[in-house]
Amino acid sequence: MIKIEINRVDGDFGFEAKDSNGHTVHMDSSPETGGNNFGVRPMQMLLMGLGGCSGIDIVSILKKQRQPVDGFRISIEGEREPGKEPSLWQTVNILFELKGNIDPEKARKACELSINKYCSVAATLKEAGCKIQWDIRVIA
């Protein structure tokens, strides 16, 4: 079982989350809603989790194929459902930018496997109705 501990540490909405290994993350609400910009918005953190989860998958797959990943950047943009509570992620667009002597087709297949099969965060978002689109750019 995974254990996460969250404590309020800054103003009304500034929270610090800690995992069982002692890693911490700060979360807060926007100043417009009473926060102090102490940390990441929780819904933005979900997209960060998507990037981290898929990034780990992709590097792992490419390493098994002996593809040297010298650099990796992931850009994510998302739109939430307007006028709803809760306001879920409606669409997410991801750009994976890989650097190295990587076969573009192997890179594309690794991204496809991550988003459509292995990434638990992507599966969670899709289950909630989010449409995830992605593209890849390989830079030699």
CATH code assigned at 94: 3.30.300.20
22 and 48 in a single domain? The answer is no
Q: Examine the domain organization and report whether 50 and 92 are in the same domain.
A: yes
Average of per-residue pLDDT values in the chain: 97
Provide the residue range defining the domain that includes 23: 4-33
Residue whose C-alpha is closest to residue 119's, from 53, 44, 23: 53
Q: For residues 28 and 60, state if they share a domain.
A: no
Q: Is the pLDDT of residue 140 over 90?
A: no
- The confidence score (pLDDT) of residue 22 equals 97
Write out pLDDT tens, residues 96-112.
999 999 999 999 999 99
Give the number of domains in the chain.
Answer: 2
Q: For position 125, what pLDDT does the model report? A: 98
Do 19 and 69 share a domain, yes or no? no
77 & 10 share domain: no
Residues of the chain with pLDDT > 90, as a percent, come to 99
Residues 124 and 93 in one domain: yes
Q: Are residues 95 and 132 in the same domain?
A: yes
Dist. CA 119–CA 83, nearest whole Å: 29
85 and 122 part of one domain: yes
105 touches 33 (CB < 8 A): no
Are residues 49 and 81 both part of a single domain?
yes
- SS3 string, 78-136, reads EEECCCCCCCCEEEEEEEEEEECCCCHHHHHHHHHHHHHHHCHHHHHHHHCCCEEEEEE
